[in-house]
Homo-oligomer: A and B are copies of this chain.
Amino acid sequence: MSAGLVAALREVLGDRGLVADGDDLEPYLRDWTGTVVGTALAVARPATTDEVAEVVRLCAAEGVAVVPQGGHTGLNGGATPRHDGPSVVLSLTRMRRIRDVDPVSDTVTVEAGVVLADLQEAAQGVGRLFPVSLGSEGSATVGGIVSTNAGGTAVLRYGMTRDLVLGLEVVLPDGRVWHGLRALRKDNTGYDLTQLFVGAEGTLGVVTAAVLRLLPATPRRATALVALPDVGSAVALLGRLREHAAESLTTWELVGRQALDLVLAHVPGARDPFAQARPWYGLVELAGVDQGALDAQLEGALGAAVEEGLVADAVVATGSAQRAALWVLREGVSEAQRVEGPSVKHDVTLPITGLADAVAALAPRLDAVLPGVRLVTYGHVGDGNLHHNLTAPVGQEDALRAAAPELTAAVYDEVIARGGSISAEHGLGRTKVGAHQQRTSEVELDLMRAVKSAIDPAGLMNPGAVLPG
C-alpha cells in the first residue's frame, strides 16, 4: 500500500515535492527539542493549494494519516508524526507566497509557508506592523502560528495570533477546499469557522493561507528594566503602567533571578545593569508614534511605582544599543538554560490576580519533590503566563529526569487548582494530551470530541495531537 501511495504522491508533486528517503526524512521526524521522534512514509512538499488538496485526498483514500508541518519549531511535538500507524508529513514550507499586502484595508494575505519574519518585514515595508513576535520568528511559519495560536512578547497589547486572523483557506479532511479568505473586520454570518481552525494544530484540516490584520506602525519605544522585590509588585506595577500608558504598554516581561543568573553565565556580553542582586526583574516596553509622550508615560508610571515601594531599582534605556542589551536579559533565558543542561519546561497561565500566590506556592512544592531543583521562572506577567522551567541541582541531571513526571504533575495540579491552564501558548501537541485529558471535565472533552468527529470523521488529520489518537 505505502509504495503505491508514495508513487501516487510523486506523480502529483514531482521529485522536488516529495521526500521519501530515510536520511532526508529525518529532520521532519524529530522535533525541535529533540525528544519527540516519529515515523512517516514520506514527506509531501506541495507548492499550491490544489496540490495540498490532492495529497489529502490520496492519503484519505488509503486511510493514511496527514501530519501538517510548518517551520517545525513547536515545543510539544504537535507537528512531529507519531510512532504507530502510517503517516505522511505534509510540509507547507514551499507555499511561501505573499499574495497581497493592503495598507488601506490593513490586511495581508499570505500562504501557510511564509516565515513570520518575512511577514513582519512585508508589513514594515508598507509602514504597518504585524505584531506577533517570538523567539523562533526566523523559522516559524504562518500556518504554524495560526494552527497553534502562537503568543509571544506583545500579546499584552495585540492579543494572540487568533486575534489577528480575519480569514483562512483550509483543505478539509475530505480534500475539499474551504475558501474562507475574507478580509473583513466584521462578518456575523454564522459560526466562526475561522476561529475553529485557529489553534486546532492541524487536527481539523490544513491551513493553506490566511488573511491577517496589520496594525499601525509604532516606531518609537521607551524601554526599562526594573528590579522588583516580589511577584506581587510586578502585578501591581502592571496596573500602574496601564494607568499611565494605556495601550502604549506593549511588553511586560518577568525574569526571575535564577533565570537572570543563567543568562549572565552563558550569554556572551550579557551584563547585570544593577549593583545589587534582586529576586525579580521586569522588562517594560511602551511603543507608539511620539517619543516624548512615551518617555513621559514611562517616567510617570515608574515614578509612582518607586514611591509606592513596588520597584527597588530601575534603568531606562537611552538608545537602541542599551535597549538591545536589556532585551538580551529576557530573550537569552531559553538558550542559556539549554546551555546549562536539561530542563523540564512548563508553559502555564493563571488569572493575573492569583499569580503571586501561585508562584509562592509552587517553589516549596517542587522542592519537596526534588530538593534543590532550580525553578527558572520567566515570561509574560501581563498575560498571566509564566514559564516555569526546571533545571537540575548542579550535577543531578539524572535525578531531574527521574522526577520529571512528578514535578510536572505538581505544576499542573497547582495551576488547575487556581483556575489556570496547563498550556498558555504552546498548545497541547502530542506531549500534553495525556495531562490535559486527566485534568479536563468530561463535558469539555465531549465537546472537543464532537467537534473533531464532525469535521474529521475518519480521524486522519494529525491523529494523537490535541486529542488521543
Residues of A within 8 A of B (CB): 102-107, 127, 148-149, 151, 155-156, 159-160, 162-163, 172, 176-180, 182-193, 195-196, 198-200, 204, 215-216, 218, 235, 239, 242-247, 288-290, 293, 296-297, 349-353, 380, 382-385, 419-428, 432, 436, 440-441, 443-444, 447-448, 450-455, 466-467
Which single member of B218, B235, B384 contacts A185 (CB below 8 Å)?
Answer: B384
Docked complex Cα distance between A444 and B447 (Å):
20
Docked complex Cα distance between A189 and B288 (Å):
33
Are B216 and A184 within 8 A (Cβ)?
no
Which single member of B188, B290, B424 contacts A186 (CB below 8 Å)?
Answer: B424
Residues of B within 8 A of A466 (CB): 190-191
Which single member of B159, B419, B428 contacts A190 (CB below 8 Å)?
Answer: B428
Residues of B within 8 A of A180 (CB): 444
Which single member of B179, B243, B290, B454 contacts A451 (CB below 8 Å)?
Answer: B454
Docked complex Cα distance between A440 and B189 (Å):
10
Are B106 and A421 within 8 A (Cβ)?
no
Docked complex Cα distance between A166 and B127 (Å):
31
Are B191 and A451 within 8 A (Cβ)?
yes
Docked complex Cα distance between A290 and B184 (Å):
31
Are B192 and A162 within 8 A (Cβ)?
yes
Residues of B within 8 A of A380 (CB): 186
Docked complex Cα distance between A33 and B243 (Å):
41
Are A105 and B443 within 8 A (Cβ)?
no
Are B102 and A188 within 8 A (Cβ)?
no
Are A178 and B444 within 8 A (Cβ)?
yes
Which single member of B159, B353, B454 contacts A104 (CB below 8 Å)?
Answer: B353
Which single member of B156, B183, B188 contacts A425 (CB below 8 Å)?
Answer: B188
Are B353 and A436 within 8 A (Cβ)?
no
Q: Which residue of B lies closest to A104 (CB)?
A: B353
Are A155 and B191 within 8 A (Cβ)?
no
Residue among A172, A382, A444 with most chain B CB within 10 A:
A444
Residues of B within 8 A of A421 (CB): 182, 184, 186-189
Residues of B within 8 A of A351 (CB): 102, 105, 107, 183-184
Q: A102-B351, A451-B454 are in contact. List 8 more A-B contacts (CB 8 A).
A: A102-B353, A107-B351, A160-B186, A172-B447, A185-B352, A188-B421, A293-B293, A451-B451
* Between-chain CB contacts (< 8 Å), 12 pairs: A155-B185, A179-B443, A184-B419, A185-B349, A185-B382, A186-B380, A188-B199, A192-B199, A215-B247, A218-B246, A246-B288, A290-B296
Which single member of B199, B215, B243 contacts A191 (CB below 8 Å)?
Answer: B199
Q: Which residue of B lies closest to A292 (CB)?
A: B293
Docked complex Cα distance between A165 and B467 (Å):
24
Docked complex Cα distance between A288 and B248 (Å):
10
Q: Which residue of B lies closest to A172 (CB)?
A: B443
Docked complex Cα distance between A155 and B216 (Å):
15
| A146 shortest CB reach to chain B, Å | 12
Which single member of B187, B297, B447 contacts A349 (CB below 8 Å)?
Answer: B187
Q: Which residue of B lies closest to A293 (CB)?
A: B293
Q: Which residue of B lies closest to A235 (CB)?
A: B104
Which 7 residue pairs across A and B have the least CB separation, nearest first?
A: A454-B454, A195-B195, A186-B424, A185-B383, A187-B421, A450-B454, A105-B352
Are B444 and A185 within 8 A (Cβ)?
no
Docked complex Cα distance between A366 and B188 (Å):
24
Docked complex Cα distance between A151 and B235 (Å):
31
| A362 shortest CB reach to chain B, Å | 17
Known: A191-B196, A199-B191. A176 touches B288 (CB 8 A): no
Q: Which residue of B lies closest to A457 (CB)?
A: B450
Q: Which residue of B lies closest to A186 (CB)?
A: B424
Are B104 and A436 within 8 A (Cβ)?
no
Docked complex Cα distance between A244 and B289 (Å):
7
Docked complex Cα distance between A304 and B216 (Å):
17
Q: Which residue of B lies closest to A161 (CB)?
A: B188
Residues of B within 8 A of A467 (CB): 190
Are B188 and A149 within 8 A (Cβ)?
yes
Known: A383-B186, A454-B454. A239 touches B104 (CB 8 A): yes
Docked complex Cα distance between A352 and B420 (Å):
39
Known: A191-B200, A193-B447, A293-B290. A419 touches B186 (CB 8 A): no
